[in-house]
Every structure is written in C-alpha cells, then in structure tokens.
Structure 1
Amino acid sequence: MQLRAIIAVIFAGSLTMTHPVLAEDKPVTEQVVDTLTTLSGGPHAGYRANHAKGIMVEGSFTPSAQAASISQAVHFQKPTPVLVRFSDATGVPNIPDANGNAFPKGIAIRFQLPDGTATDIVSISVNGFPAATPEDFLGLLNAVRDSQASTAKPSPVEQFLGTHPAALKFVSTPKPAPESFATQPFFGVNAFQFSNAGGKKVYGRYQIVPVSGARYLTQQAADKAAPDYLMKEIVERVQTKGVQYKLLLQLAEQGDDVNNATVVWPDSRQLVELGTLTLNKAVADSQTAEKPIMFNPLQLTEGIAPSQDPILLARPAAYAVSFGRRLAK
C-alpha cells in the first residue's frame, strides 16, 4: 500500500507538517494529543485535537421492551432527551467531508438523565480499532508523522504496519463516503458491562444502525461532493423529516475478548435492540455550543460499567487534554 493511501485512512489531516519534539516524560495520552495536533497542522485554536469538524443535533431516545432486561440504567427504562454530535476525523476544522482523511466518522451521544446528570456513548464508523493499547496507538501515529520526511524503504509507518496486523487491517478496511450521516452505521469498539435490576451481568458493544439503511456515495459522486455536504445535509434532514437509528448491543459470549478493541466479535453474536434514537432538532450555532462540551465514554450511570480495555480507560484522559487546550484558546 502506498504511503499516501495509508495516511489517508489514519487520523492524518495534513500531508505537510512540522515535527516538534515530543516530551517522552509526558503521559502517553498527552503525547497522543500532541501527535494528533502535529498531524493536523495545528494547533487549531478552539478545536478538538481529533474529530475537530462536527455538527450537533438534538432529539430523544426511546428504550425497547427488552432494554430493561439488559441494564437497569435509567435511560433504558423510559424516554430520555439526547444531544448528538456527528464528526469527521482529524484535527482539521475545515476538512472536506468526503476527503479520505476525514474517516472514520464519529458519533457522540449524550443521554440527559432526569436527575440532571448525563451518560455518553462515543463511537466511530469502523467496527474495530487499530491498536489494543494507548502505547501502540501512539506508535502508529508517530510512525505516520515520522514517515513524512523519511526516505527509508520501508517507511516507518510501513514498518509499523508490517508488525501490527490489527493496524494494517484497520487502514485497509474500505471507508466509503456515506450519502448522509443518516445512512452511516457506527460501532462501539470498546465493551461495557451491563447489569439489570436482578443483578445479571453481560458484556456488550454498541452498534448504532440507521433505520433508513446504510448507503454510500460512488467514488465519482464523492469526488464531486461539496466540502460540507454531510454537515449541511444532516441539519436539513433533521429539521424536515427527522432521523432515526436503532441502538443495538452485540453480546459477548464465553471466551470473547472484552478488553481488546482490535478484536472484532463474530457476526453470529446475539444482537439486542436497546431502543430508538430520534433526531428532530438542530442546535443553534453548533460550533459555539459544542466547544465547552466534552463527551466522555466513561461518564456512566448505574447499570453500565467499563471493561478493562486499555483504550477505553485511556480515552477520557486524552479527551481531557484536548478539552483543556480547547477552552484555553
């Protein structure tokens, strides 16, 4: 695979970058944010280090009849307001929506609970992740960074992919441009433990499936797409006819690895429908409204607990670094 094609599917928003020296004594999560910022040609004041370009909409979540049998979480008992942010990958605030660097797409869902608290889901448009640990993810990002000025054959990123099959699989997975965010499925790459009122516990991963079905642009159409076609279309669609997704849970079976985001469970695993997301309202001045919000996959409520997946446990720390820098600008 050519280096440019590799970079086009890994969180690399800019192909012309400076290479600041990273302090190795920083926490890995902070180094990840530093490298993402470098790869995007940043820092871009006031924006996230990754998934910088986004749009927020609002709606509600209605649980299914079987949701309560999976978890006692309050939003699985009765309808709950939601705030949803769709996003493009990279830290480039104006990246074209159909650009190869803008994948995977992201969705963040905030369930606004009756007691004033919230719980979040943060997912991407690819089933699986390129690294099992924050250290390996940093290694991948640094390899991409170091390959820009390298004349080595194989390049640093090619060397990395040659010894990390999960990363190679991730970057090789097709990532076509969707017709709309409303036709893009999303996947929770990290597992959580769910417990119901009777104390029964299961592990599962979220899937967020568009009711209208998955549909994608042809390459020819993607090449001609307007830079903000996804961001503008989803607002228009939400306001005119609404958008719905099914929130599903893929249940782990005995022996399934629940602590490794690179391991995709077989399609034969049971899917339970947790409920329906209905989005029907745009957020006024989304860019301003989203700046002070940090979606956090470990902002959980009773009935949902984290697995010991190292990527999951590291995500809030990385988000917090990016969040702090965003608010400081």
Structure 2
Amino acid sequence: MMKKQFVAGWLVMFGLSTGLYAEPASVSVVEKIVDVQHQLFSGPRPGLRSNHTKGIVVVGEFTPSETAKNISEASHLQTESSPAVVRFSNATGFPDIADNDPRGMAKGIAIRLDLGDEEYHDLVFSSVPMFPVSTPELFLEMLTAVSQSGPDVASPKPIETFLEAHPSAKRFVQHPKPFPKSFASLSYHGVNAFRFINAQGDAVYGRYILSPVEGEQHLDAETGKQQHADYLVNELPQRLQQNAVLMRLSVQLAGPDDEVNDATVIWPEDRPVVELGLLKLEAMHEDAAAFERATMFNPLALPDGIEISDDPVLRVRPAAYAISFSHRMN
C-alpha cells in the first residue's frame, strides 16, 4: 500500500488529468497505459473512472460571442446558446483523494455541449497548460517508470532517470500547481491543438483556454494545506446557490512557426487570443452519479468547423477513454 501511495504521488505531479486514446496501431500501447494506471490507483473500480475519479458535475449553458464566427462555422458558435454539462475533477484514480492532496492538484474539467439531434461536442481541459510527453509510447514509458519507483528503490529511481532524459516531463513536474479557492476559480487549458475553419474556408490552428470571468483565485500554500478534504466539492454547490458562475472560453491561435502537434510545447504568450463565448454554470446536476457512470467524454466528438490535428497524444485519447469506460461498466 505504501508503494502505491508513493508511486501515485509521482503520477499526480505529472497531472494525469488528461488520460489518453489511440488509433488501431496503438491500441496495445493504450491498453498497457490503462493497465498501469489501474495498478497505480488500485483499480479498476466498477462504476468509477480510472483517472480523475473524484469529481463534481454541474449544468449550465454556453453562449457564443460575435468573434466566434470568425474562427469557426461550428454550430455551437453560431446559435444563441447550447445546454452544457460540466465535470470538475481531481487527478488520480483514488475516489476519496483529498481536494488539497498534492497528488491531485492537476485539476481537470470536461464539458459536454448539446448540439441537438442527439449530437454533442466534448471539450477536455487540464489546469496545467501542457502534457509531460509528446507520444503515447513515451507516456507508457513514464508510467512504467513511476510504477518501478517505490520508496525502497535506490536513487536514481527509474522516474528520476526518466525526468532527466525528458526535459518536458521535468518541466511539467515543476510547473506551479496552486491550491484553488474553487474549482471555478482556476484557468483550464486544452493542451492539444485543433484546426478551426470558418464559413469562408479560412483555417487556423488553436488551443482552448477556459478562464473565470472574475479572475483566478488561489489559496496560499499554508491555507491550502489546512482545508477540509472535500473543500472544493463542498464549495461549488454553495457558490451556485448564491449566483451563477461565468467562465470565458477562448482560443489561442498558433503562429506560423508554432508546433501544433506536440502537447508538451507551450506557445508564446503574445499569440492572439480570441474569445469564443461564455460558459454559465447554474446548478448542480440532479443525477450526477448516473451521468458519471454512463458518460465517456470524447475530445474527438467534433462538429463541422473543427478538425483534429496530427498530435499523436490527441489521436489516442478516445481509445484509452473507451478502454477505461469498458472497465467502469464491468
């Protein structure tokens, strides 16, 4: 048990908030990724997610801005509003992890927009603006190194060796992961790029950003450590009883020389950011447990006007989600 907790500590620092998915040639790699995650998090657990297991579900609506039409002809960026279901979560596959546990500080958010006619669009973000590695194979190598780096293993442990050999993973570990005041007071990032096409056929690559309209709000380290284990999942319902929460969905546009197929690369801050609209969180989901059990978010559930990039991590994410979903339903 001690080894599993130690290993999970490494995992959370990597922000396993994104999970993965794969094309046919990579299915065996993705299956191994899911198996290692189960090993590290003492899973699988029937009815529960393999990763980002502890979460909270709210409902609301998304309303596009006028500038959104300049970026994409996607239907949810043209209509007045779209119903939304939003799930906030902690990293790791431990269902009872404390909201202020350092292992779970890479927070996640998944959004399902109802496009009508039984169609939907899913968006999956992380509070960390990058992924630690650029390919599924490297992700499996990283997870395997974590699993082999128990407290009794002498240094340099396999994960320490991996970090030194892969600077992007080391940058991820070192990236600040502050204690949020609320799930809704953090900014979230789509670490993978998509291709956006407007009605005139103009195409640009971009990455999503979701930010609180009132600005980010964090707790200092000492205050964060003193919070209740469920302080975030308790805070959000109380907040919504008082007022709706507004979050701004934007897209950062890639420059002509920016890397669009590598999720470890953060683009320069001077790249233009275009507002796509407002996400309004209004109430708690009335049957969150049933929704969570039955729902698999798929970042490649894309409407016309948004296309996948060649990022290998993005391309394998649905397969990992699907494998995890099958374990959840057993």
How would you bin the TM-score normalised by the shorter chain?
A: over 0.9
Counterpart in 1 of 2:60?
59
Question: What's 1:10 paired with?
Answer: 14
User: AA paired with 1:195?
Assistant: I
Q: Per the alignment, in what secondary structure is the counterpart of residue 305 of structure 1?
A: strand
Q: Which amino acid aligns with 2:227?
A: A
Distance 1:26 1:320, change over 3 A: closer
| 3-state SS in 1 of match to 2:118 | coil
1:320 paired residue number: 322
1:24-103 matched pairs, under 5 angstroms: 27-78=28-79, 79-103=81-105
Partner deviation per Cα, 1:36-57 (whole Å, 9 max, x = no partner): 1111122222211110111110
User: Do structure 1's residue 182 and structure 2's residue 187 form an aligned pair?
Assistant: no
2:209 corresponds to: 207
Q: Which has the higher contact order (CA 8 A, sep 6+)?
A: 2
The one-letter code matched in structure 2 to 1:275 is G
Instruction: Quote the Cα distance in structure 2 between the aligned partners of 1:80 and 1:50.
Output: 28
Task: Return the alpha-carbon distance in structure 1 between the equivalents of residues 109 and 77 of structure 2.
Answer: 19
Q: How much has 1:7 moved relative to structure 2?
A: 4.9
Q: Where does residue 264 of structure 1 map in the other structure?
A: 266
Mean Cα deviation higher: 163-172 or 106-115:
106-115
1:135 equivalent to 2:137? Answer: yes
Unpaired segments ≥5 residues, structure 1: 14-24
In structure 1, what is the Cα distance between the partners aligned to 2:319 and 2:84?
24
Q: Which amino acid aligns with 1:52?
A: T
C-alpha displacement at 1:273, in angstroms? Answer: 0.3
The 3 A distance-change label for structure 1 pair 304 and 181 is: same
Q: Which moved more, 1:166-175 or 1:150-159?
A: 150-159
What residue in structure 2 maps to residue 251 of structure 1? 253
For 1:243 and 1:4, the matched residues in 2 are separated by 32
Q: Deviations over 1:198-243 (max 9, x none)?
A: 1110000000000121111111211111111111211221232011
Distance apart, 1:8 and its partner CA: 4.9
Q: Aligned partners of 1:26, 1:200: CA distance in 2, in Å?
A: 34
User: Following the alignment from structure 2 to structure 1, what is the Cα–Cα distance between the partners of residues 152 and 50?
Assistant: 24
Paired residue type of 2:270? S
Cα pair 2:8 2:92 within 8 Å, conserved? no
Structure 1 equivalent of residue 275 of structure 2: 273
Task: Provide the C-alpha distance between the structure 2 equivalents of 1:174 and 1:306, rounded to a whole number of angstroms.
Answer: 29
Aligned Cα root-mean-square deviation (Å): 1.8
Supply the distance in 1 between the matched residues of 2:286 and 2:10 (Cα, whole angstroms).
37
Normalising by structure 1, what TM-score?
0.92
Q: Is the 8 A contact 1:11 1:36 kept in 2?
A: no
Cα distance in 2, alignment partners of residues 3 and 218 from structure 1: 26
Which of 266, 290, 300 aligns to 2:302? It is 300
Q: Quote the Cα distance in structure 1 between the aligned partners of 2:175 and 2:84.
A: 31
How far is 1:285 from its partner?
3.5
Aligned counterpart, 2:21: none
Kindly state the Cα deviation for residue 286 of structure 1 after the two structures are TM-superposed.
1.5
Question: Given that residues 53 and 87 in structure 1 are in contact (C-alpha distance below 8 angstroms), is that contact kept between their aligned partners in structure 2?
Answer: yes
Deviation of 1:185 after TM superposition, in Å, equals 0.4
Moved beyond 6 Å, runs of 4+: 2-5
The range that moved more, 96-105 or 42-51, is 42-51
Structure 1 residue 115: Cα displacement: 2.3
Aligned identity (percent) is 46
The separation in 2 between residues aligned to 1:3 and 1:68, in whole angstroms, is 45
Taking the aligned partners of 2:259 and 2:210, their CA distance within structure 1 comes to 21
